[in-house]
Structure 1
């Protein structure tokens, strides 16, 4: 049997376990009309965070230099890349930072037909067809002239 002192490093209060279930870092939600990322960045000031789109990804980067906290000095930084789903409009990506430190990034999605099929409309133009007949007559005339020569 193992003694309790061997488990002292593994002990976690229930309150701690509850906070782990709430703080998952980020959540991603892909709906029919939009793609949304929620990211907890409460330890960073707005000017320490950057959001970019590059090569079909949303790139979130945050960094702050050493700061004093309850236990001494701490510096933090992270870089996260989220792949945008098919149909997401990279040019229309927006981000919002809430007062409680939640960064929400939203990318609208255009409708993508699953078959990759699209109906192309046919436009009728009258004058072009008449010009085509006239050019045929001119060609036959020029051919006859060649025959006469």
Structure 2
């Protein structure tokens, strides 16, 4: 049997704020998936292996030129801006909504763990993948047998 948590939310316009408040993560703004314009940010996966951290950002329909990734003082920032500048000359529009997409997302990166000068990024099949290699001194070392004398 699986227990399910029932939502006690009486004010639908404030669900995530109150949920975050009572979870105790109110001041952890980096973990929230919202923007000031009440839109959602692209979904992100963060993976770790022995050699690196990998951040995958779901951003289908964009081009690699639409992204800017920067690293400064332990903060990795991903910016994206895309405008649809297609012009249809001579058309009489009753309604045409402009196409503009942008987002910014930042992550605190432990500088003592990640080699900031070796961070790389790749965009393929709608996924922006950022590789954050670990410093050699923090990578797990293989076990060795100690000879007893």
Q: Does 1:32 align with 2:50?
A: yes
Tell me which residue corresponds to 1:57. 75
Q: TM-score, normalised by structure 2?
A: 0.51
Tell me which residue corresponds to 2:120. 94
Cα deviation per residue 1:102-149 (whole Å; 9 max; x = unaligned)? Answer: 010001102339xxxxxxxxxxxxxxxxxxxxxxxxxxxxxxxxxxxx
Tell me which residue corresponds to 1:78. 103
Report the structure, 1 or 2, having the larger helix content.
1
Between the two structures, name the one with larger relative contact order (CA 8 Å, sep ≥ 6).
2
Q: Does 1:106 align with 2:106?
A: no
Return 5+ residue gaps in structure 1 as ranges.
1-23, 114-149
d(CA) in 1 for partners of 2:51, 2:63 = 30
d(CA) in 2 for partners of 1:35, 1:83 = 12
Q: TM-score, normalised by structure 1?
A: 0.51
Q: Shift in Å at residue 88 of structure 1?
A: 0.4
Report the structure, 1 or 2, having the larger strand content.
1
Return 5+ residue gaps in structure 2 as ranges.
1-41, 87-95, 140-149
| Count of residue pairs brought into register by the alignment | 87
